Amino acid sequence: MLNIKNLHVQLEDEDKQILKGVDLTVEAGKVHAIMGPNGSGKSTLSYVLSGKGGYEVTDGSATLDGESLLELEAEERAAAGLFLAFQYPVEIPGVGNMTFLRTAVNAQRKARGEDEMSAAEFLKEVRATAKSLKIDADMLKRPVNVGFSGGEKKRNEILQMAMLSPKMCILDETDSGLDVDAMKLVAEGVNALRDENRGFLVITHYQRLLDHIKPDVVHIMANGRIIKSGGPELALEVENNGYADILAEVE
């Protein structure tokens, strides 16, 4: 599904290499986790995949179901089925959450040549989805992420993910800053979306999220590279011993 090969990325304005040859394949139906110390390039990877400006790909490739992502505009990647749950969701004052979501859903449908959802249809679906994620209907009316608590922001990302039903979901530290209950809610939301046609790339700092979202594969990223991959037990190893041992092992 998602195929990343030898991906090299540097900053556009600065001669600074951030990703130094990332190789990663996520198959449909699988959940891959990426762990790694701060500053290792995890967020950069998620931004580059979803088309944020300011980065330059100097080498390598990234494809989704065989289609190269790197030439596409951000919105084309979204329409192709890629979704990023942001580490820091952005506030958009004055724009209702519902309006935002409907505009997004219909923009993607249109890009794919599908019929747009009517206002009534959309309303029904968004209400049902919000309910299943235990999101208060009131949150739908408020402006996008404005004045949302940390937990609300992250749940809002999951709501968007559920409404857009992407093929490939990337979650960037969706658990950070959440208490245990909020994290459980987020994990339940993700688990409800797991199916054999959908891939997940879960970026996290802590093992605890992976207690709730059971990964198939765990990767360790450091200094712009995946330095080790393994099963869920790798996450536990990090939890117990930190990154030092793994880093030393690779050196």
Partner 1 sequence: MAALDQTQVKEGIDQETVDTVREVGGAYKYGWETEIEMEYAPKGLSPDIVRLISEKNEEPEWMTEWRLQAYERWLTKEEPNWAMVDYPEIDFQDQYYYARPKSMEVKPKSLDEVDPKLLETYKKLGIPLKEQMILAGVEGAEDAPAEGRKVAVDAVFDSVSVGTTFQAELKAAGVIFCSISEAIREHPELVKKYLGTVVPVSDNFYATLNSAVFSDGSFVYVPPGVRCPMELSTYFRINAENTGQFERTLIIADKGSYVSYLEGCTAPARDIAQLHAAVVEIIVEEDAEVKYSTVQNWYPGDENGKGGIYNFVTKRADCRGDRSKIMWTQVETGSAVTWKYPSCILRGNESQGEFYSIAIANNYQQADTGTKMVHLGKNTKSRIVSKGISAGHAQNTYRGLVSMHPKAKNARNYTQCDSLLIGNKCGAHTVPYIEVKNNSARVEHEATTSKVDDEQLFYCRSRGMDEEEAVALVVNGFCKDVLQALPMEFAMEAQQLVAISLEGSVG
Ligand X SMILES: Nc1ncnc2c1ncn2[C@@H]1O[C@H](COP(=O)(O)OP(=O)(O)O)[C@@H](O)[C@H]1O
Query: Which positions touch ligand X (CB under 6 A)?
Result: 11, 18, 36, 38-44, 54
CB 139, min distance to partner 1, A: 13
Of 107 and 236, which CB lies nearer to partner 1 in the complex structure? 107
Residue with smaller CB distance to ligand X, 11 or 244: 11
Which residues have C-beta within 8 Å of that of residue 221, sequence separation ≥ 6?
22, 34, 35, 36, 40, 41, 42, 45, 227
To ligand X, the closest distance from the beta carbon of 203 in angstroms equals: 7
Query: Could you say which of 10, 40, 43, 129 contacts Mg ion (CB under 5 A)?
Result: 43
CB 246 within 8 A of CB 238: yes
From the list ligand X, partner 1, Mg ion, none, pick the one residue 26 interacts with, judged by a Cβ distance below 5 to 8 Å according to partner type.
none
Measured between alpha carbons, how far apart are the two ends of the chain, in Å?
A: 31
Q: Which is nearer to partner 1, 99 or 229 (CB)?
A: 99
Select the span of 28-36, 43-51, 101-109, 142-150 touching Mg ion (CB under 5 A): 43-51
Asked whether 229 and 217 are in contact (CB, 8 A), the reply is yes
Give 176's contacts (C-beta < 8 A, 6+ positions apart).
Answer: 87, 204, 205, 206
Asked whether position 207 contacts Mg ion by CB under 5 A, the answer is no
**Cα(225)–Cα(228) distance, rounded to whole angstroms?**
9
Of 68, 34, 69, the residue nearest 216 (C-alpha)? 34
Judged by CB, which is closer to Mg ion: 32, or 102? 32
Q: What DSSP line would sit under 191-227, residue for residue? A: HHH--TT-EEEEE-S-HHHHHHS--SEEEEEETTEEE
Question: 172 near 84, Cβ under 8 Å?
Answer: yes
Helix 119-132 × helix 97-111 angle, to 10°? 110
Instruction: Select the binding partner of residue 3 from Mg ion, partner 1, ligand X, none (C-beta < 5 to 8 A, by kind).
Output: none
Q: What are the residues binding partner 1 (CB under 8 A)? A: 50-53, 73-75, 77-79, 83-84, 86, 89-96, 98-100, 102-108, 111, 116, 119-120, 123, 141, 143, 160, 164
What, of Mg ion, partner 1, ligand X, none, does residue 100 touch, CB below 5 to 8 Å by kind? partner 1
Q: How far is the CB of 19 from ligand X (least distance, A)?
A: 8
